[in-house]
Amino acid sequence: MTLAGRMFDLVVAANRLPVDRVGQGGIGWRRSPGGLVTAMEPVMAGRDGVWVGWAGESGPAPEPFTENGLHLHPVSLSPVEMREYYEGFSNGTLWPIYHDVMIPASFHRGWWNTYRTVNHRFAQAIVEVAAPGATVWVHDYHLQLVPGMVRALRPDVRIGWFNHIPFPPVELFAQLPWRRSLVEGVLGADFLGFQRTADAENFLRVCRRLLAMKTDSDTVTFTSPGEHPTVRTVRASAIPISVDFKGLDALARTPQVIARAAQIRACLGNPETLMLGVDRLDYTKGIRHRLKAYQELLQDKVITSPQVTLMQVALPSRENIDAYRQLGQEVDGTVRRINGKYSALDSAAVQYLHQSYPRPEMAAMFLAADVMLVTPLRDGMNLVAKEYVTCRHDLGGALVLSEFAGAWHEMHEAFICNPHDIEGLKQTIMGAITAAEDERRRRMKALRKRVADHDVQWWASLFFESLASAPLKPHRPTHASDRQQRGVERANSADQGASESASERSSH
């Protein structure tokens, strides 16, 4: 089906389309993994909108097309843009800053220029397919300049932005030489959604303390730069993302998935306790800490293999970035050491799977696992935690959850841990393993109810309601207080410009 020339009342923009090519040079498409796709696919399926994003391969973009009922509008990226916009600025500069600088962030002016160029390309693609008065929903840290660029091109549309990862404290965000441009880009939106209240508060604090903007409760007053400034009030609030509870619950109840879950356990030797981790191979996910805790439990003979088995699924991620390659090597080495010392002849202590799996297979893994380990060092939400409890229609299983995952704020009935505290993590894991059945069922029942009541459709509806209620028309500053505020912002802008110039001189 051709989409050429068609315009839509709903435009969703994200770095990636929800599909990948099948095979090298393949002409088909398959659903891509990832939390954003997991969340947005059911939202888009119920609405006649278009998804703007990169198709996952360098070179010219494919023509707009429809796949599995989703209208898709690809955006092109060259090999240089992939390296500088995606691997560079998005994941070498922003990702570390937004995740507590677990590894040092890199500041390169060339990366920033490419990030700006690609964001402008996304903005142009959006306005091409947005009908008059359309709703535009921009997603995540890759596209922080897009809301402002779309507003400049199409002031008639209503724009929302949602941040899927944590938003950092002001002390970390302040390190960015381009902090003003990033904030002003995001403030092109009418409504900003964050995973946690703390993230929204961090953003408002950045606006107030770094850019001298006026904030009140959960809003910021933004005076646009230029000779003819306008004043807009933008709301920033927490709307935690969720999963398609009905669809995933129904999938987990199918005879095929139930049978596959039993088969998985049988293939692993029917351990007394099967523990499961499912993560992108990312340094924020706490995989090394988890393996260390498991290794020490085996070493201390608190547990033994094959009575207790760990299955770790590590989805390939950003393999062209040095930090991720190094992490992969470290995880591989740790798994080999554990298996070499603690495995039985017919059963590995760690079943390590470095690949992605389709949804039915993941549902079967969730249903098979007695203990689910979700132990990130920092995570915006972590939908795996919600997917696991959704699949446990039998009320079996136990969720071990890091207090540094956004999901913790909604899922207090899980077995909560601090993954940095290895001894505490070990105790939490053992608490989940040894908990009485009635306690596990009580916890799981409460967790499932919360996810069912606040599923992905609830999340999307709340976001759209918040966006629809946002003030649409800006106004001219007329009061003395407005003029005074604009003067403060201009003075701060001059200071910031000097600071950013100095920062850029010190950057590569």
Domains contained in the chain, CATH given: 8-241+466-506 (3.40.50.2000), 245-453 (3.40.50.2000)
Which residue, 145, 173, 107, is CA-closest to 504? 107
Residues 6+ apart with CB under 8 A from 404: 376, 377, 378, 379, 418, 419
d(CA 284, CA 282): 5
Q: Could you tell me the two tokens for 396?
A: 């079996």
Q: What was the pLDDT predicted at 24?
A: 61
- H-run or E-run covering 506: helix 480-506
Q: How far apart are CA 223 and CA 96, in angstroms?
A: 30
What is the arrangement of strands in the sheet containing 219-223, beginning at the earlier edge strand?
65-67, 70-75, 50-54, 8-16, 130-139, 158-162, 191-194, 231-238, 219-223, 214-216
Q: Sort strands 350-353 and 130-139 into parallel, antiparallel or unpaired.
A: unpaired
Instruction: Map 339-351 to HEC letters.
Output: HHHHCECCECCEE
DSSP 64: P
CA 235 to CA 205: how far, in whole Å? 13
C-alpha angle 475-478-481 in degrees, rounded to nearest 5? 110
Strand order in the sheet with 371-374: 350-353, 308-315, 273-280, 371-374, 398-402, 415-417
Q: Please tell me whether the peptide bond between 79 and the residue prior to it is cis, using omega within 30 degrees of 0.
A: no
- In DSSP notation, 444-489 reads HHHHHHHHHHT-HHHHHHHHHHHHHTS--S-B---SHHHHHHHHHH
Is 416 in a helix, a strand, or coil? strand
Structure letter (DSSP) for residue 141: G
pLDDT of residue 479: 53
- CA–CA gap between residue 382 and residue 388 (Å, rounded): 11
pLDDT tens track of the chain, all 508 residues?
456 678 999 999 999 998 888 766 666 887 777 678 878 888 887 788 999 999 888 889 999 999 888 899 999 999 999 999 999 999 999 999 999 999 999 999 999 999 999 999 999 999 999 999 999 999 999 999 999 999 999 999 999 999 999 999 999 999 999 999 999 999 999 999 999 999 999 999 999 999 999 999 999 999 887 777 889 999 999 999 999 999 999 999 999 999 999 999 999 999 999 999 999 999 999 999 999 999 999 999 999 999 999 999 999 999 889 999 999 999 999 999 999 999 988 899 999 999 999 999 999 999 999 999 999 999 999 999 999 999 999 999 999 999 999 999 999 999 999 999 999 999 999 999 999 999 999 999 999 999 999 999 999 999 999 999 987 667 666 654 444 444 444 434 433 443 444 344 344 4
Check residue 499 and give its pLDDT.
41
Q: How far apart are CA 280 and CA 370, in angstroms?
A: 21
What pLDDT, on a 0 to 100 scale, did the predictor assign at position 25? 60
Is the whole model's pTM more than 0.85, yes or no? yes
H or E stretch at 333: helix 322-342
One-character DSSP codes across 336-403: HHHHHHH-BTTB-SEEEE-S---HHHHHHHHHH-SEEEE--SSBS--HHHHHHHHH-TT---EEEEET
For residue 53, what are the β-bridge partners? 74
DSSP 62: P
Three-state DSSP class for residue 246 = helix
Q: What angle do CA 146, 320, 286 make, to 5 degrees?
A: 85
pLDDT at 56 (0 to 100): 85
C-alpha torsion sign, points 479, 484, 486, 487: positive
- Distance CA(371)–CA(310), nearest Å, equals 9
